[in-house]
Amino acid sequence: MSTLSPHAVQRVHDVTANFFFWQGLRWVPMGAALLAVAWGLGPGAPVPDAWQTPLLLATMAVSLGLSSMAGRWYARSYGRVRARPGMHARRTRTKWLVVYPLVAVALIVDAVWKLPVLTSGLAFAGAIEAYRRSTGGGRRHYIVASALFIAIAFVPVVGLVTPGAPALDWVLALLGATYVVGGVLDHFELRRVLPGAGQLDDPTEIVAGTR
């Protein structure tokens, strides 16, 4: 690490301190599942009503299995990070006590009250930016994703989609696309920051600590 610039050393620290969230291939199957659900449950979808719930359950089960396989591949290729106890306690509290409840409330508001502006789009925009900042920064593709969620929040206003369930399908599809594209780009960024990890005989040497 002595040949790295201070900025590069800081970047390695940022990535290893948030290593789980940079394992982008974990998120790709989940994003694909969300896209499949948005397509299968959307208006005019060819999936019969009786098959929609089994489709949802099967799709999520497969996506979780593939995500777990990706996680094992990262462990073999890059090793594991042993974070300091309590290192991310503040982020965890904020996530469970603020971000997730706000997103859930926004989804309920959009489904029940069918407002002309999608509050869930605005909520996801804020959540994605908070995620980007709290997991090491960088990754400008998430800034683009946040901007797209802000834009999609106003889609019902211009009459492109009906408020309520049809509009929420757009939000769900954009979330799935964010998982897929963001996951792939996160993976490439991880390889850029830790280029040699996958070639080491003992990959734990690269990411054994948070510095």
The span from the CA of 48 to the CA of 64, in Å, is 24
Q: What is the pLDDT of residues 111-162, one digit of tens each?
A: 999 999 999 999 999 999 999 999 999 899 999 999 999 999 999 998 888 8
HSE, CB side, 13 Å, CA atoms: give it for residue 133. Answer: 10
* 1, 34 contact by CB (below 8 A): no
Give the residue from 33, 24, 41 showing the smallest Cα distance to 170: 41
**Residue 207 pLDDT greater than 50, yes or no:** no
Mean pLDDT of 184-210: 66
Q: Name, in order, each residue with C-beta under 8 angstroms of 106's C-beta and a sequence gap of 6 or more.
A: 119, 120, 122, 123, 124
**% of residues, the chain, pLDDT over 90:** 55
pTM of the model: 0.85
Other Cβ atoms less than 10 A from the Cβ of 29: the count is 23
Chain segment 4-46, per-residue pLDDT in tens = 677 778 888 888 889 999 999 999 999 999 998 888 776 666 7
